[in-house]
Amino acid sequence: MNRVDYNSMSDEELKQYFLKHRGDRDAFQAYLDRINQRPRRIIASPSDPDFDEKVQAAIRQKLEAARSDIDQQSNTVLKPTDKD
């Protein structure tokens, strides 16, 4: 069996690999390790008077980014393969 080099994959490649190979526990662990190494962004502290607005803005931003990713994926043109 070939050993997959998760470290050589970009974040997006690793994510796509894991999504296609959901039974690969090593890929899942590599993905979790990678995302847990990312610095966490602090949106607002609970004592911030604009806490609700900042959290809602961050949620909207994440949703818009997710929609954009979905739109890009649906606009990808698949080329026919020669399987004849």
In the prediction, which pLDDT does 52 show? Answer: 94
* Average pLDDT estimate for 53-57: 94
In the prediction, which pLDDT does 78 show? Answer: 55
Number of neighbouring beta carbons within 10 Å of residue 52: 10
3-state helix, strand, coil split of the chain in percent (to 5) is 60, 0, 40
At residue 18's C-alpha, the angle toward residues 58 and 64, to 5°, is 20
Residue 53, CA distances (Å) to 45, 46, 65, 81 in order: 12, 12, 18, 49
What are the pLDDT digits (tens) for 3-40? 889 999 999 999 999 999 999 999 999 999 998 998 88
CB 12 within 8 A of CB 6: no
In the prediction, which pLDDT does 7 show? Answer: 93
What are the pLDDT digits (tens) for 57-81? 999 998 998 888 777 777 665 555 5
- Residue spans per domain, the chain: 1-40, 43-76
